[in-house]
């Protein structure tokens, strides 16, 4: 089973490019981030024509996540649970479903908050969101089933995951608090698919549009797939589709695809 994550940076603005990639790469399951549209504006029919079942948790202009699967989607959840029932989150950043494949898989797609600038409520929101994700993921692990939490985590885990660490020292993606929260999430029992399958420095998934980041390969690794033990046992490989960044009007992220022998 090929499982993909891709921050498409507006699905409708890049629809032709995205559909081209889906036809070529043919992932069995994919989660998209930053779709930047309401549910009814998502190009559902275009993906259905390619054989995908579609679930969307959208938002106008900003954020938004979607899940596409060649297998039926069951028990779809839109939105990350809160630690207290009286809280409300207006940002569409979380989607979860059971992939009803011959070996069922619980799939989660996330678009973790950016958090910039640090020292503001945006950074506090990022850390609070990560705390909520930690609590929910802990509960999902207790189910002892194949589970993948994939998406744009907006966290650079280690210095090896950034071409120029000094340039990111003041950025929320590379703060000690962000990295510690990501490490704590992993320490619940998750495997970082890329690090397990490859782990070589330079496995970047994002290159900024500014300052010649792409031609100079000034990238960062922030798009991750975390696997429960029951999924990690089946990990066969990970491919970062770098070529997508070099195409016309690309997203600033590229797809990452993990293969599981499920």
- Mean pLDDT, all residues of the chain: 97
Please answer whether residues 28 and 70 qualify as being in contact, where contact means their C-beta atoms are separated by less than 8 angstroms: yes
* Rounded mean pLDDT, 220-243: 98
Percent of the chain with pLDDT over 90: 96
| Structural domains of the chain, ranges and CATH numbers in brackets | 2-260 (3.60.10.10)
Phi, psi (degrees; rounded to nearest 5) at 219: -105, 175
At 134 the three-state DSSP class reads: helix
DSSP 155-170: ---SGGGBS-GGGGTT
Q: What is the pLDDT of residue 85?
A: 67
Inter-residue contact 222 to 185 (CB < 8 Å): no
**What pLDDT, on the 0 to 100 scale, is given for residue 15?**
98
Per-residue pLDDT, 87: 76
Burial code of 171-202, b = ≥16 C-beta within 10 A, e = fewer? bbbbbeebbebbeebbeeebbbbbbebeeeee
pLDDT (mean) for 169-190:
98
pLDDT at position 84, please?
75
Are residues 29 and 256 in contact, defined by beta-carbon separation less than 8 angstroms? no
Q: What percent of the chain has pLDDT over 70?
A: 99
pTM over 0.95, yes/no: yes
Q: What are the residue ranges of helices labelled H in the chain?
A: 15-25, 44-48, 121-141, 176-186, 193-197, 229-232
Instruction: List the helix and strand counts (H, then E) for the chain.
Output: 6, 12
**Cα–Cα distance for residue pair 77/134, rounded to 1 Å:** 17
Report d(CA 115, CA 168) in Å as an integer.
13
Q: Cα–Cα distance between 143 and 147 in angstroms, integer?
A: 9
pLDDT tens, position by position, 19-49: 999 999 999 999 999 999 999 999 999 999 9
Banded pLDDT at 226 (limits 50, 70, 90): very high
Q: How much is the pLDDT for 25?
A: 98
pLDDT at residue 82 in the model: 87
Q: In whole angstroms, what is the distance from residue 253 CA to residue 14 CA? A: 12
> What pLDDT is recorded for position 75?
98
pLDDT digits (tens, 9 = 90+) for 51-103: 999 999 999 999 999 999 999 999 999 999 987 766 778 899 999 999 999 99
Q: Is the pLDDT of residue 203 over 70?
A: yes
Spatial contact of 67 and 109, defined as CB atoms under 8 Å apart: yes
**What are the Cα distances from residue 167, in Å, to 153, 162, 191, 200?**
19, 9, 28, 21
pLDDT for position 8: 98
Tell me if residue 182 falls in helix, strand or coil.
Answer: helix
**Residues contacting residue 127 through CB under 8 Å, at least 6 positions apart:** 115, 177, 178, 181
74 touches 123 (CB < 8 A): no
């Amino acid at each position: 089973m090929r499982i993909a994550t891709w921050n498409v940076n507006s699905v409708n603005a890049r629809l032709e490019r995205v559909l081209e990639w889906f036809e070529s790469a043919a992932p069995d399951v994919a989660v998209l981030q930053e779709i930047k549209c309401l549910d009814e504006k998502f190009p559902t029919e275009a993906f259905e024509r390619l054989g995908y079942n579609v679930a969307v948790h959208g938002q106008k202009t900003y954020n938004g996540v979607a899940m596409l699967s060649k297998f039926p989607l069951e028990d779809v959840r839109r939105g990350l649970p809160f630690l207290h029932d009286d809280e409300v989150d207006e940002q569409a950043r979380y989607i979860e479903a059971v992939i009803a494949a011959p070996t069922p898989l619980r799939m989660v797609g996330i678009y973790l908050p950016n958090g910039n600038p640090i020292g503001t409520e945006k950074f506090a929101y990022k850390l609070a969101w990560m705390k909520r994700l930690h609590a929910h993921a802990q509960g999902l692990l207790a189910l002892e089933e194949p589970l993948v939490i994939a998406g744009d985590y907006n966290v650079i885990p280690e210095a090896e995951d950034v071409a120029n660490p000094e340039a990111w020292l003041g950025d929320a993606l590379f703060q000690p608090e962000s990295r510690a929260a990501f490490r704590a999430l992993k320490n619940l029992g998750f495997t970082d698919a890329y690090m397990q399958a490859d782990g070589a420095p330079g496995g970047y998934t994002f290159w900024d549009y500014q300052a010649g980041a792409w031609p100079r390969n000034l990238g960062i690794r922030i798009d991750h797939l975390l696997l429960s033990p029951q999924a990690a046992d089946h990990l066969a490989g990970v491919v970062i589709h770098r070529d997508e960044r070099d195409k016309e009007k690309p997203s600033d992220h590229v797809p990452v695809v993990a293969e599981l022998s499920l």
